[in-house]
Amino acid sequence: MDENTLSIILVEPQLGQNIGAVARAMLNFGLTDLRLVRPRDGWPNQEAVAPAAGADKVLENVKVFPSTHTAIADLNRIFATSCRSHDMVKFIYAPNVALKSLASTAQEGQKVGVLFGSERCGLHNDDLSLCEAHIKIPTNPGFSSLNIAHAVVLIAYEWFLQVTSCPTQVFRTGATHLATGEDVGNFFAHLEEELDRTGFLRHKKKRPTMVRNIRNIFQRAQLTDQEVRTLRGIIRSLVREPQPLRAQKNQNKAA
């Protein structure tokens, strides 16, 4: 299997030195796809070069995105690293279990990634709601905050172990494949638009939490592209005026 099928996404990273250290950690374990979402000090950043210690291949291939949604658009499965408890329903995996699952998906030729938050505050709830599950790295409960490069090296190491050994489990999707982040994001936009139109999301204060909870329901399902198309068809069918009622209206107009 190609080890480069795991994407590392840093959301709002602050220090160029940390980005360089992440690049070094990635290349130690054969990873080269580094994506940055709104890096605070911009990109390219000269401060990243020295800590990268020769991981130029990673730095030269860095991709920068304006949002988390666009950064994960081509990925089929996305996990997030988080040490904090969040008010949402998510599977939480230890690194070895999470990376075994992602490696199984990658073996089928599908694209996977892991999301990391900023040095200051980690990932926001809106970012976490775009992910299927959380990865929690076991640490000292009294001092659990990891440097971002340390977190990446632990994930990259576990990935390397999985892809260099024989997989024990494979998630097969048949003729279809897992939906990409873009597919799922478009489905969410479609669903939320109709829920706004029908008044389900009418409470402005509750709306952000309601939206995150709805997204979590579907993120846990590992939707395929065919399932996403089916769900969007269901939405269109539910909001379409029933045929008998439409026919009756036409008759009334004709009369």
pTM of the entire structure? 0.76
Domains (range + CATH), the chain:
3-163 (3.40.1280.10), 181-245 (1.10.8)
Per-residue pLDDT tens over the stretch 154-184:
999 999 999 887 555 556 666 678 899 899 9
Q: Residue 63 belongs to what H/E stretch?
A: strand 63-65
For position 239, what pLDDT does the model report? 86
Per-residue pLDDT tens over the stretch 51-95:
999 999 999 999 999 999 999 999 999 999 976 656 777 889 999
Supply the mean pLDDT for the chain: 88
Please list, in sequence order, all residues whose beta carbon lies within 8 angstroms of the beta carbon of residue 117, skipping any fewer than 6 positions away. 11, 12, 80, 81, 82, 123, 124, 127
- Residue 89's nearest CA partner among 146, 44, 36, 134 is 134
Per-residue pLDDT tens over the stretch 113-144:
999 999 888 899 999 999 999 999 998 988 88
Question: Would you say residue 36 has pLDDT above 90?
Answer: yes
Q: Residue 113 belongs to what H/E stretch?
A: strand 112-116
Percent above pLDDT 90 for the chain: 62
Is the peptide bond between 44 and the residue preceding it cis, with omega within 30 degrees of 0?
A: yes
Q: Tell me, what amino acid is at 205?
A: K
Report the distance separating Cα 211 and Cα 154, nearest Å: 32
- Residue 5's nearest CA partner among 107, 81, 117, 153 is 107
Question: Would you say residue 111 has pLDDT above 80?
Answer: yes
